[in-house]
Amino acid sequence: MSAGIDALKSALPEGAWTQDPDLIDPHLREWRDKYFGQTPIMLTPRSTDEVAAAVKICAEHKLPIMPQGGNTGLVGGNTPQGEVLISLKKMTAIRDINPTANAITVEAGATLQSVLDAADAADRKFPLTLSSQGSCTIGGVLSTNAGGNHVLKYGTTKELVFGVEAVLADGSIFNGLTSLRKDNTGYDLSRLFLGAEGTLGVITAATLKLFPKPKYVQRALIGLDSAAVAVSLLEPFRAGGRLAMFELMPSIGYRAVVDNFEAVRDPFSDKHPWYLLCDWEVDSEEDGLSIAENVIGHALENNTVKDAVIAMNETQAAELLSIREHMSAGQKFLGGSVKHDITVPIDKIPEFFIRADAAVQKVIPGCRPVGFGHFGDGNIHYNIAQPEGADKEQFLANWDALSQPVFDIVDTLGGSISAEHGIGIMKRDDLAQRASPVKMKLLRMIKTALDPDGIMNPRVMV
């Protein structure tokens, strides 16, 4: 390894690598303090050519590599354990934006927020939004196939990408950057790198799909008695194709936010078991109010929903959204939390909650399920908070014991144990045990074909 490290330092320009422990340390810890790691050197390339030169040297010396974006991952796939760490944080350029083609080409280290801002400045919308959008990077969200709040209308990250540029395991560069909507010349190679978590190559840039910016977004927050009520509301709410967000929050998570963040206000006078946050993208404020008042008003009249707040301006809309955006951070006030990122068919979500809540109570009596998230596309962040007054570390030691019954229920309902966070190392063994043998065989064949020496993020996924 030392010869390979020396070769990297000799080949890369000054400023493209460091062994300074103080500079490296923030990149070795996951933001929740669940994973900690080490690396012999951190590379900070400023161009695709520098990434390619580094990977070629690593390939020659059989040095394992871990690419890293904004270090906001949640499944351990971004914390090195001795691999050469390649941080893309210096590759932040917006290379091109083409409003006519509705396309934007950006480097992998660009934050999601910078892409949202660039699209907005061109009077366009990039519809991927995450609570970590100020720090997560495009390379990271593509590598994990992130979802966000608008999958209901626009699809996951895979559906928002025209093509990628990536450095392969031998240091060669694949250039799949394009804004073509039709290209029927063989396999869609760019798709291989989406959701691959850096196991097939290092994404260095991508051409992303843009959309016309909606003229007005109507937002509303609704109080419900059950998740089953949310299922009944989905069809009337999405009539006409205007519904862009349909987010469900349980009372325990909602209260953790509004009771602990001074800047977040509870707009309701009464408490409700569940809360639903919705967006409609419309042509005018009048259209938005008409849609919201009609569908919510009907639900109020027949007592389907208990209460509702319709945002009347951008300030009120931002206040409502802030409750959902603080949902993850709010759970820190509940103590230790075992987290799951699952998806099941939408009509099965109420059944999932009933069965999963009962199953985890058998494992840890008194634990507090906090199931929230992207109800409109079936993706639930099913987190389990420790019993009140319990020891945090003792509770977290039961992570696997709590996860297995949840995953069993997901399997029986035809769902997935990973919806938008990826597999990483956290779910690697679960994937191997639960996926079909044919699927695992194909995954490993593709991995071997593109990375025969197994140097690209070698501990992750397969």
Q: Do 216-329 and 335-421 fold alike per CATH? A: yes
Q: Residue 249 and residue 373: Cα distance in Å, rounded?
A: 7
Structural domain boundaries in the chain: 2-87, 94-212, 216-329, 335-421
Residue type, position 220, single letter: A
Closest to 352 in 3D by CA, of 299, 411, 398: 411
Residue in this structure with the two tokens 């103590």, named with its chain if needed? 335
CATH architecture of the domain 94-212 equals 2-Layer Sandwich (3.30)
Give 75's pLDDT tier (boundaries 50, 70, 90): confident
The tokens for 354 are: 């009933």
Ranking 150-159, 170-179, 383-392 by mean pLDDT, the lowest is: 150-159
Give the pLDDT of residue 74: 80
Give the pLDDT of residue 47: 97
Phi and psi of 161, rounded to 5°?
A: -120, 125
Is 374 in contact with 234 (CB distance < 8 Å)?
Answer: no
Closest to 141 in 3D by CA, of 177, 115, 175: 115
CA angle 191, 193, 198 (to 5 degrees): 165
The tokens for 387 are: 């019993």
Phi and psi of 167, rounded to 5°?
A: -95, 125
Q: 137: burial class by Cβ within 10 Å (0-12, 13-18, 19+)?
A: buried
Assigned CATH for 335-421: 3.30.70.2740
Phi and psi of 270, rounded to 5°?
A: -110, 160
Is 306 in contact with 272 (CB distance < 8 Å)?
Answer: yes
Give the pLDDT of residue 149: 85
Give the pLDDT of residue 131: 79
Q: Which phi-psi region, left, alpha or beta, contains residue 47 (left: φ > 0; alpha: ψ -120 to 50)?
A: beta
Give 343's pLDDT tier (boundaries 50, 70, 90): very high
Give the pLDDT of residue 59: 98
Q: Residue 72 and residue 143: Cα distance in Å, rounded?
A: 12
Q: Residue 385 and residue 392: Cα distance in Å, rounded?
A: 9
Q: Residue 277 and residue 257: Cα distance in Å, rounded?
A: 14
The string of pLDDT tens digits covering residues 233-260 is 999 999 999 999 999 999 999 999 999 9
Give the pLDDT of residue 34: 77
Q: Element (H or E) spanning 114, and its range?
A: helix 112-121
Closest to 342 in 3D by CA, of 383, 398, 397: 383
Q: Residue 155 and residue 139: Cα distance in Å, rounded?
A: 18
The string of pLDDT tens digits covering residues 388-421 is 999 999 999 999 999 999 999 999 999 999 988 8
The string of pLDDT tens digits covering residues 294-334 is 999 999 999 899 999 999 999 999 999 999 999 989 999 99
CATH architecture of the domain 216-329 equals 2-Layer Sandwich (3.30)
102: helix, strand or coil: coil
Q: Taking all residues of the chain, what is their mean pLDDT, rounded to a whole number?
A: 95
Residue in this structure with the two tokens 């500079």, named with its chain if needed? 23
Give 77's pLDDT tier (boundaries 50, 70, 90): confident
Assigned CATH for 2-87: 3.30.43.10
Asked if residue 458 has pLDDT above 90, the reply is yes
Give 122's pLDDT tier (boundaries 50, 70, 90): very high
77: helix, strand or coil: coil
Give the pLDDT of residue 35: 83
Residue type, position 317, single letter: A
Give 76's pLDDT tier (boundaries 50, 70, 90): confident
Is 137 in contact with 112 (CB distance < 8 Å)?
Answer: yes
Mean pLDDT for 10-16 is: 94
Mean pLDDT for 204-228 is: 97
Closest to 291 in 3D by CA, of 223, 236, 247: 236
Beta pairing, strands 17-18 & 42-43:
antiparallel
